[in-house]
Amino acid sequence: MDKAVHYLAQALMYALFFVPLVYISHLPTHHHMDDDVAVLKVAIRHPGKIIGECTSVIAGEGHGMRPAAMQRVTEICPRERSPLQLELIIDGETLYHATIPATGLHSDGISSMYQQFTVPTGPHHLQLRMNDDVAVDGYTWQLDQDIELQPAQVMVANFKEGFRLQ
């Protein structure tokens, strides 16, 4: 084959390789979410209440402790924390209801969760309820609020000494 024809053929092959490559490296566009919805993110990071109460160390009751430790410790406190009971209701419909266990081998760490929901834009009534103490019936924390969601808006509900909407 003539050299020029060879190079021309190669140019064509390079084009056949790179043109589709360039195309699929950004097209076709991916439709991830409709325009008429918003995103509600619920992210809670909160330690539940300790389950049980501290008990005094009475002389003679070692509780498996070494004698040296017994001299210093006057009471023994449980470590296990309550799991969180969390509920999200929008316009009367329960979108999320879950028990979030405490982390850690002894369930003595914080409980944390993340969930996101797509919600139609417009006005809504939002209710968030949480129980962080198994000793209490019902919910220990609540949020009842009317919200107005804009298209593609991201609303975050988190918790810091009470529910907050951002």
Partner 1 sequence: MKVLIRRGFNALDSLFSKAFTPAWNPMYQLGAMSFFYFWIVAATGVYLFIFFETSISGAHASMEYISVEQWYLAGIMRSFHRYASAAMGICVTLHLLREYARDRYSGVRWFSWVSGIPLLWLLFASAIGGYWLVWDVQAQYIAITTAQWFDWLPIMVDPMASNFLNEATLSDRFFSLLVFLHIGIPLSLLLGMFIHIKRISGARTNPAKGLAAGTLLAMLAVSLWQPALSQAPANLDVAVTEIGLDWIFLNPYPLISSWGPGQTWALLVGLSCFLTILPWLPSRREQQTPVAVVDPENCNGCGWCLADCPYEAVTMKEHDYKKGHQQSVVDPNLCISCGICAGACPSSSPFRHVDELTTGISIPGFHIKELLSLTENKLSELGTDEPRIMVYGCDHGSVVDSMASNSVASISMPCTALVPPAFIDYVLRKELAEGVMISGCCEGDCHYRLGNEWMDQRFSKERMPILRTRVPRDKVRIRWLGEQGTKQLGLEVKEFQAHLLENVQADVQLDLVKIAEASNG
CB 85 within 8 A of CB 101: no
122 close to 129: Cβ distance less than 8 angstroms? no
Q: Which of 4, 21, 68, 105 binds partner 1 (CB under 8 A)?
A: 21
Quick count: other Cβ atoms within 10 Å of Cβ 163?
20
CB of 84 to partner 1, least distance (A): 14
Contact set for partner 1, span 52-111 (CB under 8 A) = 103, 109
In angstroms, give the least distance from the CB of 48 to partner 1. Answer: 15
Q: What are the b/e assignments for 36-73, b being 16+ CB within 10 Å? A: ebbebebebebbbebbeeeeebeeeeeeeeeeeeeeee
117-146 residues in contact with partner 1 (CB under 8 A) are: none
DSSP 8-state secondary structure symbol assigned to residue 91: T
Q: Is 166 in the site for partner 1 (CB under 8 A)?
A: yes
Q: Alpha carbon 67 to chain centroid distance? A: 44
Asked whether position 47 contacts partner 1 by CB under 8 A, the answer is no
Asked if 158 interacts with partner 1 (CB under 8 A), we say yes
- Residues that bind partner 1 in the complex, under the rule CB under 8 A: 1, 6, 9-15, 17-19, 21-22, 24-27, 29-35, 37-39, 41, 43, 45, 103, 109, 112-114, 116, 152-154, 156, 158, 166
